[in-house]
């Protein structure tokens, strides 16, 4: 096909769409089902209507081919485990008894059965359920969900393309099941898995699928020759099957690198590639392998992970370059639109001038359609859209809202010494132990306590002016009193105020810093039914006044035990926001760090002896390619140290990280120079403690002994067993006892019981140590 005919054939598509609904109907239906207020039929009906609403919106916008199978009750990787029959042995009875309840048990656990481990989906804030596999794993086909959702779309008269997690990515994301040797490689199961995928593809073809998409984002990471050979073998076998739809193999989040020629040679009918800034190298690489003659190329030129309007002229130029490199060039977002909010038009509190700069899922869909039309019919047909887009881009570039000379001057004046504690850890720890007087195996929590319905109601009443500020603050004081009293009674050593005044660990600070915008409806799925509203970082950052000092000092006035000041760190403030893309991330991180440094200094001046600066996103934001990591870690660790380096030696700095693979960043954790780090470890059975020990980590650490993402209450024996496992790697004088993460999403009954058991476990092990 000529470049002209390839352009004329251009169509628009997306890989996935936000699942929750305009009013988070899915979240409400699922949580209603868990609480027994909604039955399974109502939940399924809600899900069906949300899928159809998404497809209707996409087709009304002009999308030619809609995705199916991207919708999920909890997680698409868990859906894949169900599809291939990879049900952990401990959950099989529940799944056989009731498939829906068994599905949720795998995700959340029950009082008697632990859930699957959860971790971050590549470098996003979405969490997936990690498949558990072993040499005895037997795969079986269950394409019920995938076929049913395809048939739903086809029955509506739509052109639909099923989307599946690809077999290579699925195995590369998996871990050895409990009891399986840690060196077991799930990729050795590929030949066992491929026939199941072939059966699923045959089922989809029989149901009417013309195309099927197999997502292989794991191939944008550094891969060994053996892994690349596995990818070649997988698509040789699947592509060689006769009873299948046409295959579109998709990658996103970064450049494909050495995997591109492997997939280009594979006997599949199409590739979907990311052509946004982070993966721009894909364009030259595609030309270097001779393009995709006779194949379909889906070009991801609209960024599916940020909220800024696309530069349509620039994207059209990239699309024009791609013409002639494939038989057909279609237009898409760079990845699923799952990672952005639904509709910017719903935001009534953002200034119209700024709203012009923003594109959520619906606006990105329109951009995709516009680009496809321009590519197929010529730029004259989209002249008005191009003119409006140029005006929007110019408005943002020229706005005074994005530049603050004082902030820039302060950031430029930072020196290396500003990001270094004045005393080494060996001196600081002596001063801190003398000052704090804590027992061995000190107990604490990560920060937040349950956000009850009463707290959410009080916050809503304040916004709606049904109560005044004085009434709201009285409610917050009462909650802090209850939280402090409970912690003292339970016997925790280092307390927290519980964060009742905070709506979100990032948004709360963003609303008090210049340069940030808050949304009212910008919900994005983090995991399961947990949705967050990432703020939008649009301009230079500063802190007009203290943000946390008032409530922290109030809590400290209620107890003689130390109360931690709680802050969200600069990297996480960026990672869990939609960040400006008009300057380097490191520059923005330095601005945020300086604002937070002011808060740390004010907390210390007010008498706070322990300050925790959470950085759960440090690993999440790690570049997918090893070659890009050193530069990132340099500015990321500097930003943390810049935030915390101004305190006295007897002020103890904590940090916290959760739900990520920490082995790749142990040196960076060391480079943070925090006095204490708490980490998620319960679901991974203390893996991170072993990783810290293997590195020779010299400071104090609290690997979690209570999995807060499950409603189950760990017993004293269970928590003590994890604590003993932690002691195998970390000496008692440096080991803390804490949950995996904050308790915001849990209820009070399970929180009370779990923390009481945690403290009892610490006392049990202290006694054992004293008697040994």
- Show the DSSP H helices in 606-715 as ranges: 629-644, 666-672, 687-695
64 catalytically annotated? no
The length of the chain is 772
Cα distances (angstroms) measured from residue 212 to each of 67, 235, 568 = 9, 13, 41
Structure tokens at 244: 């299948």
d(CA 624, CA 607): 41
CB 271 within 8 A of CB 298: yes
Give the angle subtended at the CA of 395 by the CAs of 391 and 398, to the nearest 5°: 130
CB 54 within 8 Å of CB 17: yes
Contacts of 400 (CB under 8 A, 6+ apart): none
- Helices 190-206, 144-155: axis angle to 10 degrees equals 30
Rounded distance between C-alpha atoms, residue 238 and residue 233, angstroms: 9
User: Residues 364, 368, 373, 375: what is their CA dihedral angle, to the nearest 10 degrees?
Assistant: 130
The secondary structure of 65-126, three-state, reads EEEECCCCCCCHHHHHHHHCCCCCHHHHHHHHHCHHHHHHHHHHCCCCCCCCCEEECCCCCC
Question: Is the Cβ–Cβ distance between 127 and 115 less than 8 Å?
Answer: no
Query: Residue 29 corresponds to which tokens in the numbers above?
Result: 């239906």
Which of 91, 127, 339, 709 is the catalytic position? 709
CB-based contacts of 622: which residues, under 8 Å, 6+ apart?
123, 629, 632, 633, 664, 665
**Closest by alpha carbon to 234, among 254, 255, 219?**
219
- Please give the Cα distance from 697 to 693 (Å, whole number): 6
Determine the distance from the C-alpha atom of residue 586 to the mean position of all C-alpha atoms in its chain, rounded to a whole number.
Answer: 20
Structure tokens at 570: 């600069």
3 state DSSP class of 213: strand
Q: What HEC string does 553-578 produce?
A: HHHHCCCCCCEEEEEECHHHHHHCCE
The tokens of 55 are what? Answer: 């497809």
Q: How many whole angstroms separate alpha carbon 115 and alpha carbon 117? A: 6
The 66-68 sheet, strands edge to edge: 66-68, 160-165, 211-215, 246-250, 270-274, 292-302, 326-333
- The token duo for 314 is 């620039």
Task: Tell me the residue ranges of DSSP E strands in 580-630.
Answer: 610-614
Q: Which of 142, 229, 235, 150 is nearest to 194 (CA)?
A: 235
The DSSP bridge pattern shows strands 536-542 and 514-517 to be: antiparallel
Q: Which residue has the tokens 């402090």?
A: 484
Rounded (5°) CA angle 745-747-749: 155
Tokens representing 416 are: 């290396």
Backbone phi, then psi, for 244, in 5-degree steps?
Answer: -155, 160
CB 373 within 8 A of CB 381: yes
Given a contact cutoff of 8 angstroms between Cβ atoms, the answer to whether 585 and 574 are in contact is yes
CA-CA distance, 214 to 237, in Å (whole number)?
14
C-alpha distances (whole Å) from 552 to each of 1, 602, 608 are 67, 11, 8
Catalytic annotation, residues? 709
């Amino acid at each position: 096909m000529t470049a002209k005919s390839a352009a004329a054939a251009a169509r628009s598509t997306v890989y996935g769409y936000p699942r929750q609904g305009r009013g988070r109907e899915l979240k409400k239906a699922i949580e209603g089902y868990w609480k027994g207020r909604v039955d399974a039929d109502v939940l399924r009906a809600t899900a069906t209507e949300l899928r159809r609403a998404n497809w209707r919106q996409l087709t009304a916008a002009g999308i030619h081919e809609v995705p199916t199978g991207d919708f999920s009750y909890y997680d698409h990787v868990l859906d894949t485990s169900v599809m291939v029959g990879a049900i952990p042995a401990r959950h099989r009875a529940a799944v056989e008894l009731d498939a829906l309840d068994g599905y949720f048990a795998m995700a959340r656990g029950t009082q008697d059965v632990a859930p699957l481990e959860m971790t971050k989906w590549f470098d996003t804030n979405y969490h997936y359920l990690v498949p558990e596999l072993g040499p005895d794993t037997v795969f079986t086909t269950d394409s019920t969900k995938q076929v049913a959702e395809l048939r739903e779309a086809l029955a509506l008269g739509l052109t639909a393309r099923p989307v599946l997690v690809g077999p290579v990515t699925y195995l590369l994301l998996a871990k050895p099941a409990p009891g399986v040797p840690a060196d077991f490689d799930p990729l050795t199961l590929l030949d066992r898995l491929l026939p199941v995928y072939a059966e699923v593809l045959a089922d989809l073809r029989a149901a009417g699928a013309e195309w099927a998409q197999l997502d292989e984002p794991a191939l944008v990471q550094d891969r060994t020759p053996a892994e690349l050979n596995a990818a070649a073998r997988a698509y040789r076998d699947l592509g060689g099957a006769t009873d299948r739809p046409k295959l579109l193999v998709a990658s996103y989040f970064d450049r494909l690198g050495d995997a591109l020629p492997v997939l280009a040679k594979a006997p599949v009918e199409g590739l979907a590639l990311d052509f946004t800034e982070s993966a721009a190298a894909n364009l030259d690489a595609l030309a270097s392998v001779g393009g995709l003659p006779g194949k379909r190329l889906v070009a991801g030129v609209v960024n599916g992970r940020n909220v800024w309007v696309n530069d349509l002229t620039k994207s059209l130029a990239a699309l024009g370059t791609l013409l002639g490199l494939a038989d057909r060039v279609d237009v898409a977002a760079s990845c699923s639109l799952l990672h952005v909010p639904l509709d910017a038009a719903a935001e009534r509190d953002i200034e119209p001038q700024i709203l012009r700069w923003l594109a959520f899922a619906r606006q990105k869909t329109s951009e995709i359609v516009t680009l496809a039309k321009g590519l197929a019919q010529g730029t004259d047909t989209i002249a008005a859209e191009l003119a409006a887009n140029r005006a929007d881009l110019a408005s943002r570039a020229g706005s005074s809202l994005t530049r603050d000379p004082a902030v820039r001057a302060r950031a430029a004046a930072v020196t290396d010494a500003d990001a270094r504690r004045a005393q080494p850890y060996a001196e600081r720890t002596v001063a801190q132990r003398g000052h704090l007087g804590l027992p061995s195996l000190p107990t604490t929590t990560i920060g937040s306590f349950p956000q009850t319905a009463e707290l959410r109601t009080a916050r809503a009443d304040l916004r709606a002016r049904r109560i005044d500020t004085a009434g709201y603050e009285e409610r917050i004081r009462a909650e802090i009193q209850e939280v402090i009293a409970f912690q003292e009674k339970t016997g925790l050593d280092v307390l927290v105020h519980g964060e009742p005044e905070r709506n979100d660990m990032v948004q709360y600070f963003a609303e008090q810093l210049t340069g940030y915008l808050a949304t009212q409806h910008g919900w994005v799925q983090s995991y399961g039914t947990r949705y967050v509203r990432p703020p939008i970082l649009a301009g230079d950052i500063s802190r007009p006044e203290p943000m946390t000092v008032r409530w922290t000092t109030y809590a400290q006035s209620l107890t003689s035990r130390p109360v931690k000041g709680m802050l969200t760190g600069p990297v996480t403030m960026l990672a869990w926001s939609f960040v400006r893309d008009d300057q380097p991330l490191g520059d923005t991180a330095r601005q945020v760090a300086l604002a937070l440094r002011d808060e740390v200094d004010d907390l210390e001046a007010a008498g706070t002896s322990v300050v925790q600066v959470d950085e759960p996103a440090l690993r999440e934001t790690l570049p997918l390619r090893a070659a890009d990591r050193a530069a990132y870690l340099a500015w990321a660790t500097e930003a943390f140290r810049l935030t915390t380096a101004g305190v006295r030696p007897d002020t103890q700095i904590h940090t916290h990280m959760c739900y990520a693979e920490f082995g790749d960043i142990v040196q960076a954790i060391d480079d943070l120079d925090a006095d204490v780090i708490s980490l998620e470890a319960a679901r991974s059975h203390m893996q991170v403690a072993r990783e810290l020990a293997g590195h020779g980590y010299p400071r104090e650490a609290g690997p979690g002994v209570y999995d807060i993402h499950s409603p189950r209450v760990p017993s004293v024996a269970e928590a003590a067993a994890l604590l003993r496992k932690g002691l195998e790697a970390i000496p008692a004088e440096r080991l803390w006892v804490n949950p995996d993460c904050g308790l915001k999403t849990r209820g009070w009954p399970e929180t009370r019981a779990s923390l009481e058991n945690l403290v009892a476990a610490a006392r049990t092990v202290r006694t054992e140590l004293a008697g040994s």
